C-alpha cells in the first residue's frame, strides 16, 4: 500500500497481520473516491470509522485535510495507525482512537471542535475471520446520524459489499453510488428538506 497523491505521494503505508479481518481499500477504489471528493479535501475535518490501516485518512492528510480522526476497535490496528502517522510525519494532524462503531458515537463530536466532520469515511469489514458475511453499515450509519457527526454540507462515503442491504436514516440521503466489482461506494449527505 502506498499514498497515491499529495505531499507523501509514493510513500509506503504499513499494513496489519493477515490474520485480522482487515481488508484495505484497493488503490483503484481509493483513487476514484479521492477524484470524486477532491474539491472537499483541503482543510477538511475527516472521520474515518473502521479505519483499519488508516489508509484513507493518510491519503486525505497527504492531500491537504486539516485533521483526521481514525477509529477502530482492534489494538493491532491502533498501534499500526500510530506507526504510519509517525512514519509519514502526520501525527500532529490526527487522533487515533479505540472505539466500537456499533455503539453510540456521541463522544466523537468533541474531536471535531463540536462542529461535525466535513468527510466521514466508513469501510466496515464485509466478512469475519470465518468468512461469514457481516452487516455493519446500517447500525454504523444510524449511530453517525444519531450523534449528529456530519458538519453542515458534509458528506459520508460508505463502502459496502454489493449484496449488503441497509436502510438510510431519515436525516440522510444517498446522492451518488459507484460500483467497483463486488464493492459499492455510496455518497450520502443531509437529506433535503424539500421532499
- Give pLDDT, residue 113: 87
The contacts of residue 169 (CB under 8 Å, 6+ apart) are: 141, 142, 145, 146
- Give pLDDT, residue 19: 65
Q: Is it the case that residue 69 has pLDDT exceeding 70?
A: yes
Q: What is the mean pLDDT of residues 141-157?
A: 95
Residue 99 lies in a domain: yes
- Give pLDDT, residue 26: 83
Per-residue pLDDT tens for 85-136?
A: 999 999 999 999 999 999 999 999 999 988 999 999 998 876 655 556 567 8
Residue 147 lies in a domain: yes
- Give pLDDT, residue 129: 57
Percent of the chain exceeding pLDDT 90 equals 74
Mean pLDDT of the chain: 90
- Give pLDDT, residue 124: 82
Which residue range(s) make up the domain with 59?
A: 27-171+180-190
- Give pLDDT, residue 128: 58
Residue 20 lies in a domain: no
- Give pLDDT, residue 133: 59
The C-alpha atoms of residue 63 and residue 104 are separated, in whole angstroms, by 30
- Give pLDDT, residue 125: 73
What's the distance, CA 81 to chain centroid? 13
In order of 32, 67, 82, 109, the CA distances from 58 in angstroms are: 16, 10, 11, 21
Of 15-19, 64-68, 185-189, where does mean pLDDT reach its minimum? 15-19
Residue 36 lies in a domain: yes
Per-residue pLDDT tens for 156-182?
A: 999 998 888 889 999 999 999 999 998
Higher pLDDT, 180 or 17: 180
Among 97, 55, 67, smallest CA distance to 79 is for: 97
Which single residue is written with the C-alpha cell 490496528?
77
Residue 60 lies in a domain: yes
User: What cell does 108 get?
Assistant: 466523537
Percent of the chain exceeding pLDDT 70 equals 90
User: What cell does 143 get?
Assistant: 449511530
CATH label of the domain that carries residue 106: 3.40.50.150
Number of domains in the chain: 1
Residue 144 lies in a domain: yes
The C-alpha atoms of residue 64 and residue 162 are separated, in whole angstroms, by 31
Residue 152 lies in a domain: yes
The contacts of residue 79 (CB under 8 Å, 6+ apart) are: none
- Give pLDDT, residue 164: 87
Residue 148 lies in a domain: yes
Q: Is it the case that residue 148 has pLDDT exceeding 60?
A: yes
Q: Phi and psi of 13, rounded to 5°?
A: -115, 130
- Give pLDDT, residue 134: 66
- Give pLDDT, residue 195: 46
Amino acid at each position: 500500500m502506498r499514498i497515491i497523491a499529495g505531499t507523501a505521494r509514493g510513500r509506503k503505508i504499513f499494513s496489519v497481520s493477515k490474520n485480522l479481518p482487515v481488508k484495505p481499500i484497493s488503490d483503484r477504489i481509493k483513487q476514484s473516491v479521492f477524484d470524486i471528493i477532491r474539491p472537499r479535501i483541503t482543510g477538511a475535518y475527516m472521520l474515518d470509522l473502521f479505519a483499519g490501516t488508516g489508509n484513507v485518512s493518510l491519503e486525505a492528510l497527504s492531500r491537504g485535510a486539516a485533521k483526521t480522526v481514525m477509529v477502530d476497535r482492534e489494538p493491532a490496528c491502533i498501534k499500526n495507525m500510530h506507526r504510519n502517522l509517525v512514519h509519514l510525519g502526520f501525527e500532529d494532524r490526527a487522533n487515533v482512537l479505540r472505539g466500537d462503531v456499533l455503539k453510540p458515537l456521541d463522544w466523537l463530536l468533541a474531536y471535531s471542535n463540536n462542529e461535525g466532520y466535513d468527510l466521514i469515511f466508513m469501510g466496515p469489514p464485509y466478512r469475519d475471520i470465518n468468512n461469514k458475511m457481516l452487516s455493519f453499515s446500517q447500525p454504523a450509519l444510524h449511530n453517525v446520524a444519531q450523534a449528529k457527526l456530519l458538519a453542515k454540507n458534509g458528506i459520508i462515503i460508505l463502502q459496502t459489499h454489493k449484496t449488503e442491504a441497509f436502510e438510510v436514516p431519515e436525516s440522510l440521503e444517498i446522492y451518488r453510488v459507484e460500483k467497483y466489482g463486488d464493492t459499492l461506494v455510496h455518497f450520502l449527505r443531509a437529506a433535503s428538506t424539500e421532499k
